[in-house]
Structure 1
Amino acid sequence: MNAIATAAPLLQVKGLSAGYGEMLALHEVDLEIHAAEIVALVGSNGAGKTTLLRALSRVLPAAGGSIVLKGEELTGLTPDQAFAHGLVQVPEGRQLFDRMTVQDNLLMGAYLRRDKAAVTRDLDRMYALFPRLSERRRQLAGSMSGGEQQMCAMARALMAAPMLMMVDEMSLGLAPVVVQQLMEVLASIRAEGVTVLLVEQDIHLALSGADRGYVLETGRIVRSGPARELIDDPAVRNAYLGL
């Protein structure tokens, strides 16, 4: 039995329900993520993927269930408190500070950190991980290409030294070559011990780069397992991959 199978999950979600007003968009969702995994959460547009991220990051109140991150219950926390616990999101659409430089955007990711020497080292690490950002460190973030802005958003999240980094629709609107570069970055940071929840409408992309996956339909988890098995699952192939 491997270590991941026996170790306690880094994130454990049980019976999570959430929604907008009286209308639930998530229905008793169960999932778990172990340290140093890439886990894909996939599903079609409107399945509830972003709603789940909003509930995990405490932007959206839970109507039921629990969210436990490294033994700490998060359901009663504010978004800032969840962020301080190490739950960091790369939002859909990047949401950078457009009128600030790339470097200032990255430093905003570390605004809660007090380890200044480590922040400086991590800034250098981001520029090594994303050489394009090093070239544009003094450029206004809003003036960059979409791919460069996605790099900046991911680097900003990593500057927070996340326990779990949640990436929402990373590939949206980007050229395939850029998406491939970003997937290589995810593999690289996973090898360094960073844990990633990758939320994607591009199911083949997400499962191809993940260790395990969950399929969400109308707010419910309908499939889960090793990513390779999900890609080969006839129901997943027929419903989502057009095969």
Structure 2
Amino acid sequence: MSAPADTTPLLKVSNLGAGYGELPVLHGVDLEIYPAEMVALVGSNGAGKTTLLRALSGMLSCSGSIVMNGRELVGVTPDRIFGLGLVQVPEGRQLFDRMTVQDNLLMGSYRRHNDKAAIERDLDKMYAIFPRMAERRRQLAGSMSGGEQQMCAIARALMAAPVLMMIDEMSLGLAPVVTQELMEVMAAIQRDGVTVLLVEQDVQLALSGADRAYVMETGRIVHSGLAKNLINDPAVQQAYLGI
């Protein structure tokens, strides 16, 4: 598995198991994410990708180990994990539809309410990254298009000042031109120092933009490596790219 040289992982997952009641979903998952890189987690629907995110966020009981910045997260509550900088953009965006765009963004910074100057600076930064959010700042979030709502959800997560931002099915239901625009935003966010875990069913999209990638099947990691190598791997091409 290729990884940045002489760098300690920001997130290290070891032998992770999780499920729902008596139904096991994750089986001995191992992965590492290094600072300021974009890692893709890809696989078909039902592979266990969202379950893994729920376990990382503390929303699901699990076994094994999840260490971020040297701190064990298994058994830590979701709000404390969020406070440590592990922030998730959920599948389906889950915005506050009857609130304005700006109020949605401010909700992302609610744990930082004592630092109003920094919140204002970050709000201006979000409007620079997402000009359409600036144009629609007083519009109800639920009245926007799917692509605009996804931009709003990403901006809301960034307002939490994440160390690691996890994005679940970013491209779901969006036109290819919109997903490409969002991938360019992801690259800009990464250059700004935010580490990104991109969870995608669209394997081509994810592998084309990530540094490294993991392929998941039936709750297990079955392939891993540099994204540029995996996109040319015959097994990955046949299973996920229709080649």
Give the TM bin, normalised by the shorter chain: over 0.9
- Residue 144 of structure 2 corresponds to 144
Give SS of 1:232's match: coil
Corresponding position of 1:27: 27
Provide structure 1 residue ranges, at least 5 long, that are not aligned to the other structure.
none
Measured on the aligned residues, the alpha-carbon RMSD in Å equals 1.0
CA distance in 2, matches of 1:87, 1:3: 21
Report the Cα distance in structure 2 between the residues aligned to 1:204 and 1:6, rounded to whole angstroms: 29
Moved over 4 A (4+): none
1:171 and 1:73 mapped to 2: Cα distance?
A: 31
Q: How many residues align?
A: 241
Please give the secondary structure, in 2, of the residue aligned with 1:18. strand
SS at match of 1:242: coil
Q: Deviations over 1:60-99 (max 9, x none)?
A: 110x101011111111111111100101000000000001
Residue 3 of structure 1 deviates from its aligned partner by 8.6
Whole-angstrom distance in 1 between the partners of 2:198 and 2:167: 5
Which residue in the other structure is 1:18 paired with?
A: 18
Q: Distance in 2 between matches of 1:61 and 1:164?
A: 20
Q: Which amino acid aligns with 2:210?
A: A
2:212 matched to 1:212? yes
Q: Give the AA of the match of 1:197.
A: L
Q: What is the match of residue 126 of structure 2?
A: 126
CA 1:118–1:3: 2 relative to 1, 3 Å: farther
Calculate the TM-score normalised by the size of structure 1. 0.98
Distance 1:3 1:39, change over 3 A: closer
- How far apart in 2 are the matches of 1:93 and 1:238? 28
SS in 2 for 1:105: helix
Matched, 1:79 2:89: no
Distance 1:61 1:157 in 2: 23
What SS does the aligned partner of 2:156 have? helix
* Cα deviation, residue 5, structure 1: 2.3
Q: Match of 2:231, SS? A: helix
| CA distance in 2: counterparts of 1:149 and 1:190, whole angstroms | 21
For residue 81 of structure 2, give the secondary structure of its aligned residue in structure 1: helix
Could you tell me the TM-score, scaled by structure 2's length? 0.98
- Percent sequence identity is 75
